Amino acid sequence: MTEQSQAQLAATPPMGWNSWNQVRCEGLTERVVLEAATALVDRGLAAAGYRYVVVDDCWQGGRDESGRLVADPVRFPSGIPALAARVHELGLRFGIYAVPGAQTCANYYDDYPDLGLGSYGHERLDAETFAEWGVDYLKYDWCRAEETTPYDRPQAFQLMHDELARLRRPIVYAISEYGQGEPWRWAPPMANLWRTTADIDATWPSIVSIIDQQAALAEFARPGAWNDPDMLQFGNGALTLAQNRSHFAMWCMLAAPLFLGTAVAGLSDELVAVLANPELVAIDQDPLGRQARRAVDGDAGQVWVRELADGGFAVALFNPTAEPRRIGASFEQLGVPSGTGAVVARDAWDGSERVLAEASVSDDVAAHDTRVFRLRLAA
Ligand code: GLA
């Protein structure tokens, strides 16, 4: 596969569901995966763009006599090829998890049995196995591979890239090393997405801190190659509606991959409507592929802006504080050209529109909430 076709694999940030934030290691079974896939379709989220169903760590049962990975027969009695086929029958795509070292993260952190699950020394066979199984997306996760391989990060991730590139089957390549080795500097175009931070928790401070860590990274994202601020904790823990809205809206502003990690069947209609909001999904999936930059960073709130393919801009007024705030920015701060005629701002939450009377965007933002406006410039 050429670098150009690798980029076309994820021309916009991939969207879907991943098992980890929902069931972690302990609760992973083929039933959970199928329930998620079915719920994506039934709740209209597949139609909204969520189409990759990714099985994270803890699916593996070891290797057979020929060294080939096999699934845990208790958790996945039907086997991975049958599961992938069921996911494909639903009109969705199937993803899986592997690591470049000898042990997976769950071997280190979740007491998962060490059965020789890592891809070190098996890279070609594992890539071929995944392609035969019908895998469309690979999450390849560092997990302390410096302890078990002679490779540095770029070498280890390049090795699997090269194996994937030999295959006839296109496989989106998501890498994860928690941002420790500044992957935004070397991962594109080798990988379609790279994690930029340590693991996200289902807490407000974790979400705010991850947003903060993305401020310096906007220039590195582009079609086919995305910063990944980690999967969504949307719907998890004790996150409030405002916090869930902010989490989702800011991931859309950041052109982030959007992976749900919650029990989709059990989400309230109100939360499903947030995830399926066509205005926000369109901002995340904007074909220009520009990640938002932070235009205003104050104690009383933040303003983020990204340029869109139609010549307009998406502006987010993000309130990380526990008080309602008036948050805003001038066109100059936003990089919006002024003096070109009327600018219309469309509220992404309710679809209402207004003409901006002054060369600025500002509004009241509830505690922990985010307002998003799509600016349309006069022709
Ligand atoms: C790491 C990753 C997580 C998840 C687990 C699986 O912590 O960052 O996203 O894949 O490993 O063990």
140, 171 in Cβ contact below 8 A? no
Exposure of 332 in the CB half-sphere (CA atoms within 13 A): 1
- In this structure, are strands 301-307 and 313-318 parallel, antiparallel, or unpaired? antiparallel
The residue whose CB lies within 8 Å of the most ligand 1 atoms, and thus the one to mutate among 143, 201, 259, is: 143
* Own/partner pairs, 174-177, CB within 8 angstroms, 24+ separation: 174/14, 174/95, 174/137, 174/138, 174/139, 174/140, 174/228, 174/257, 175/139, 175/140, 175/141, 175/142, 176/139, 176/140, 176/141, 176/142, 176/228, 177/141, 177/142, 177/153
Say whether pLDDT at 366 is over 70.
Answer: yes
Q: Tell me, what's the pLDDT at 2?
A: 65
136 in ligand 1 pocket by Cβ < 6 Å? no
Q: Tell me, what's the pLDDT at 299?
A: 84
Q: How confident is the model at residue 8 (pLDDT cuts 50, 70, 90)?
A: confident
The atom of ligand 1 lying closest to the CA of 112 is 12
Q: Tell me, what's the pLDDT at 378?
A: 82
* Catalytic site includes residue 141: yes
Q: Tell me, what's the pLDDT at 154?
A: 98
What are the structure tokens assigned to 249, written together? 């809206």
User: For 286-303, what is each residue's pLDDT tens digit?
Assistant: 999 999 999 999 888 999
User: For 249-286, what is each residue's pLDDT tens digit?
Assistant: 999 999 999 999 999 999 999 999 999 999 999 999 99
Average of pLDDT values for 11-15? 98
Radius of gyration of the chain (CA): 21
Spacing, Cα 291 to ligand 1 middle (Å):
24
Average of pLDDT values for 305-310? 98
Q: Tell me, what's the pLDDT at 376?
A: 96
The atom of ligand 1 lying closest to the CA of 97 is 10
199 in ligand 1 pocket by Cβ < 6 Å? yes
Neighbours of 353 (CB within 10 A): 12
Q: Percentage of residues in the chain with pLDDT exceeding 70? A: 99
Say whether pLDDT at 7 is over 90.
Answer: no
56 in ligand 1 pocket by Cβ < 6 Å? yes
Q: Tell me, what's the pLDDT at 379?
A: 67
Catalytic residue among 57, 141, 228, 369, which?
141
Average of pLDDT values for 76-100? 98
Say whether pLDDT at 37 is over 70.
Answer: yes
The residue whose CB lies within 8 Å of the most ligand 1 atoms, and thus the one to mutate among 199, 228, 232, 259, is: 199
